[in-house]
Amino acid sequence: MVSMKTGNTPHHSGTTPGPDAGHAPPAGTGTGTTTTGAGQASRNAPNRRSWRVVDIVVAAVIAVASGVIFWAWNLAYAGLSPAFAAFPPSSALVAGMWLFPAVLGGLIIRRPGAALFTELVAATVSALLGSQFGLTVLASGVIQGLGAELILLAFLYRRFTLPVALLAGLLTGIFGGINDAFIFNWFPEYTLDWKLIYVGLVGVSGVVIAGLLSWLATRGLAATGALSALASRRAHQEPVA
């Protein structure tokens, strides 16, 4: 269960000694100042694993907006079906449109569970607005969000570089492809080879749409100052790899 904080740890000013004061080395060694400063910095540093109110609000906004995009994309996808008639599994190349909230939410919020939360809530909004996939989208949201979540967890929610974003998109896509082709078996007419190709192409779509575009969007938003209250506020200044 996540815990909420309304802000950073309060800063204690004045002459009140900290808990390390009684163990400070003699003056002149220089290490006392370093130890006290490090202790103060540690106390002031935000907890990377705790959700604040602003994190919840922004994650919800991302998720709801993504759910509306899902709903619109569901309508557009039905009209695109003839374009994939020559090789039906190629429809997987646009499946990344249902995967991006997981990676985008994870990159922007940078808290445990953010990828899973945004994908699941987006799927829920899509279902409430009316989806041809019905309530199965809720299970799909969990499975797809889990892909990005596991990658961010593997990096302990400390690295949000382009390779990490691409990996998150890839695993989200693979999970989504397995969900479509095998768990819910949306394509019973496919051969096993076609199903495996479908899963691979969803992975490719996840890398490009969910991974690359979400990473670019995060850096773009950070550059505008829109993420100033979030841990991703300096995303545009972070190294690419």
Lookup result for tokens 């690419």: 240
Q: 197 falls in which pLDDT band (50, 70, 90)?
A: very high
For residue 198, with 0-12 CB atoms within 10 Å meaning exposed, 13-18 middle and 19 or more buried, which class applies? buried
Say which residues have a Cβ less than 8 Å from residue 127's Cβ, sequence separation at least 6: 133, 134, 135, 137, 138
What is the share, in percent, of the chain residues with pLDDT greater than 70? Answer: 80
pLDDT of 224 over the 90 cut: yes
Q: Is 156 domain-assigned?
A: yes
CA 69 distance to own-chain centroid = 17
What pLDDT was estimated at residue 214? Answer: 98
Q: How many domains does the chain have?
A: 1
Q: Is 26 domain-assigned?
A: no
Write the CATH number for 186.
Answer: 1.10.1760
Residues 170-187 as b/e (b if ≥16 CB within 10 A, e otherwise) read bbbbbbbbbbbbeeeeeb
What is the share, in percent, of the chain residues with pLDDT greater than 90? Answer: 73
Q: 17 falls in which pLDDT band (50, 70, 90)?
A: very low
Q: Is 22 domain-assigned?
A: no
Residues 38-52: pLDDT tens digits? 455 445 555 667 999
Residues 95-143: pLDDT tens digits? 999 999 999 999 999 999 999 999 999 999 999 998 878 889 999 999 9
Q: Is 46 domain-assigned?
A: no
For 131-140, 173-182, 201-210, which range has the lowest pLDDT when averaged over its residues? 131-140
Rounded to two decimals, the pTM is 0.80
Q: Is 13 domain-assigned?
A: no
pLDDT of 163 over the 70 cut: yes
Q: 26 falls in which pLDDT band (50, 70, 90)?
A: very low
Q: Is 225 domain-assigned?
A: yes
Contact indicator for 69, 83 with CB cutoff of 8 Å:
no
For the segment 168-182, the average pLDDT, to the nearest whole number, is 97
For the segment 90-95, the average pLDDT, to the nearest whole number, is 95
pLDDT of 53 over the 50 cut: yes
- Residues facing 5 on adjacent strands: 52
Q: Is 107 domain-assigned?
A: yes
Q: Is 125 domain-assigned?
A: yes
Dist. CA 228–CA 108, nearest whole Å: 11
Highest mean pLDDT among 7-16, 28-37, 147-156: 147-156
Report the chain's mean pLDDT, rounded to a whole number: 85
Domain that holds residue 185: 53-79+87-237
Contact indicator for 112, 146 with CB cutoff of 8 Å:
no
pLDDT of 57 over the 80 cut: yes
What amino acid occupies position 47? N
